[in-house]
Structure 1
Amino acid sequence: MRMPPFNPYFGVVIGVFAVSTSAVLVKLANGAPASIIANYRLLFAVLIMSPIILLYYRHEFKRIQKKDWILAMFAGIFLAFHFIFWFESLNYTSVASSVVLVTLQPIFAFLGTYLFFHERFTPGAVISMIIALFGSLIISWGDFQISGIALFGDILALLGAMTITGYFLIGQNMRRRFSLMTYTYVVYGISSITLIIYNVGFGYSFVGYPTSYWWIFIALAIVPTFLGHTMFNWALKWLSTSTISMAIVFEPIGATLLAYIILDETVTWSQWLGGTIVLFGLFLFIMSTTKKRKVTISH
């Protein structure tokens, strides 16, 4: 195998930092509706990808069949609502709570594969899921003691984890037969259209936001979407899927630190305790369910 241009572990560190910026960037643009922020993140990502797709991947579109378009449509809808729920949750709860709860996605994904693909649980997977879910209950209980609004944000974050699971489960069949770039481009495009329809339906304005917000929208398309997503998938050529999966679990830590530095958010005892338990449970879960499968990053 050809040697990488630089250490792939360094690439993973860059990827973790990149995806950790997502929640903070959304918080900085909280004057815009969550669905508008999501819309521009995906729309700008599609615009940036378009020249690459036209030059190197347009031949793959000839192989996309009707069933593929149907799968992509549902995957795009789930992705759109993942961003709506998750970004909206950041209006009600802290970055620490929101990102930790969204990171429970691997557990929802495994439950989905059990229900739809009859993938069997190992004892270690069951124990680790119970640990992670117990941690999420501690976070939610602590937020409920602070205010019911924070608990509502936690529920939205969990809905964000569930909807991104739907995106992965529906799209995995199509993903096996097309390049990552083509699949991502199609789904992002459909998700953008879904969000445009959603925003028009609710009467949200597409213009009139401060200049700083437009830079945030562009940053969301570039930093967590491309630097995070691309770096993880690039590193998979040299590192195992389990290594990448473990690294992604550090996203809540990075996001919480950035929120403390940039947004002056403090972390409560329930968030420290519950977050630690959730991350420990996720580590155990990934170790007990390690398989050679592609990791896709949404944040």
Structure 2
Amino acid sequence: MKNQHSNHLLQLTLATLFISTSGALGKYIDLPTPVVIWWRCFLGGLFLYAFCYYKKFDLKVHSRKDAVAITISGLLLGAHWITYFYALKLSNVAIGMLSLFTFPIMTTFLEPLFIKVKFDPVYILLGVMVLFGIYLLAPEFNLESTYVKGILFGLLSALFFALRNIMSKKLVSSYNGTHIMLYQVSILSIVLAPTLFYFGTSGIKTEFPYVIMLALVTTAMGHTMLVNSLKHFTVSTASIINSTQPIFGIIIAFIFLNEIPTLNTYLGGSLILATVIIESVRSRNK
């Protein structure tokens, strides 16, 4: 049991690392946000479908109720991605990711309202620790610039992400995480298709390698592994462990975008890591 738990924890950590690439990629790719998200969904969907075809998965949706839940969760995922990318474009990788990572706190309060999960008061303390860590990680906020809009978009993205994860949790008992992600990105590919005519895709040629990485590593691999992890962890636990994303994201941004972290980044990162370790031990002993 403990070895299985360690394997599940490793998969969730890898999912977190893969998803963390979205910060640097979202900031770097020079295309309109809806167009980036469409390519992300379209290419990610192709990768996921090829995998399902190879594995001979049954892709049938079992009921109309499930179809509605999948559609709503897909739209929430799209809203999360779009608002998150706007947060990155308006500010920087650090602020975009840090404002997004208020979602574990939102999740701990929202999850008992949608799923029969007993509210654990310890999550309040862990959530406060994460919030304080995020506060320490954040650079000095300039409230007179577009950073304010970036923070607001990040907070809105956090809300959409928390709701999407909660809905996905309800689906994983009946569907594989790969199926759910394939359904979600397929729905978004259809919904966002009209934006291609409005914004155009003339710049895709130079950005294509980075869009492929976003679709394959971040979306097809990272988000599928995250959804699969919900079979083994509560949404709150997975969300708190996922809070290492800003640390990974800031390191990636430092290496590839030369965004230099401050001393507060290290202090806040250490606090978040301590929270993750505490929750990992607690979830192991449950």
TM-score bucket of the superposed structures, by smaller chain: 0.7 to 0.9
Change (3 A) 1:70 1:241: closer
Cα deviation for residue 218 of structure 1 reads: 0.8
| Corresponding position of 1:45 | 44
Cα deviation for residue 250 of structure 1 reads: 2.7
| Corresponding position of 1:211 | 205
| Corresponding position of 1:187 | 184
Cα deviation for residue 71 of structure 1 reads: 1.0
Question: Does the CA-based 8 Å contact 1:98-1:153 persist in structure 2?
Answer: yes
Mapped pair 1:36 → 2:35: yes
Give the percent of matched residue pairs that are identical in Structure 1 and Structure 2.
22
1 CA distance for matches of 2:225 and 2:64? 31
Cα deviation for residue 68 of structure 1 reads: 1.4
2 CA distance for matches of 1:136 and 1:111? 18
- Residue of 261, 266, 273 corresponding to 1:267: 261
Cα deviation for residue 80 of structure 1 reads: 0.4
| Corresponding position of 1:158 | 155
Change (3 A) 1:246 1:133: closer
Per-residue deviation, residues 121-149 of structure 1 (Å, max 9, x unmatched): 3332222223333444566783135x431
Question: Does the CA-based 8 Å contact 2:172-2:228 persist in structure 1?
Answer: no
Per the alignment, in what secondary structure is the counterpart of residue 89 of structure 2? coil
Per the alignment, in what secondary structure is the counterpart of residue 67 of structure 2? helix
Per the alignment, in what secondary structure is the counterpart of residue 207 of structure 2? helix
| Corresponding position of 1:295 | none
Question: Does the CA-based 8 Å contact 1:103-1:161 persist in structure 2?
Answer: yes
2 CA distance for matches of 1:76 and 1:177? 16
Q: CA RMSD in A?
A: 3.6
Aligned AA (1:36): V
Mapped pair 1:172 → 2:189: no
Per-residue deviation, residues 8-48 of structure 1 (Å, max 9, x unmatched): 8876665444222221111111x211221111111101112
1 CA distance for matches of 2:196 and 2:38? 11
2 CA distance for matches of 1:115 and 1:235? 21
Change (3 A) 1:280 1:102: farther
| Corresponding position of 1:24 | 24
Change (3 A) 1:252 1:8: same
Aligned AA (1:223): V
Change (3 A) 1:112 1:50: same
TM-score normalized by structure 1?
0.77
Question: Does the CA-based 8 Å contact 2:241-2:279 persist in structure 1?
Answer: no
2 CA distance for matches of 1:175 and 1:234? 7
Change (3 A) 1:172 1:270: same
Mapped pair 1:111 → 2:106: no
Change (3 A) 1:232 1:119: closer
Change (3 A) 1:136 1:83: same
Question: Does the CA-based 8 Å contact 1:124-1:285 persist in structure 2?
Answer: no
1 CA distance for matches of 2:243 and 2:224? 17
Question: Does the CA-based 8 Å contact 1:20-1:224 persist in structure 2?
Answer: yes
Between Structure 1 and Structure 2, how many residues are aligned? 281
| Corresponding position of 1:148 | 145
Cα deviation for residue 263 of structure 1 reads: 0.7
- Residue of 125, 128, 132 corresponding to 1:127: 125
Change (3 A) 1:148 1:211: same
2 CA distance for matches of 1:51 and 1:19? 20
Aligned AA (2:165): F
Q: Which runs of 5+ in 1 are unaligned?
A: 293-299
Cα deviation for residue 111 of structure 1 reads: 1.3
1 CA distance for matches of 2:230 and 2:113? 28
Question: Does the CA-based 8 Å contact 2:241-2:276 persist in structure 1?
Answer: no
Question: Does the CA-based 8 Å contact 1:79-1:167 persist in structure 2?
Answer: yes
Per the alignment, in what secondary structure is the counterpart of residue 143 of structure 1? coil
Change (3 A) 1:247 1:215: same
Which shifted more, 173-182 or 48-57? 48-57
Cα deviation for residue 114 of structure 1 reads: 2.6
2 CA distance for matches of 1:170 and 1:231? 16
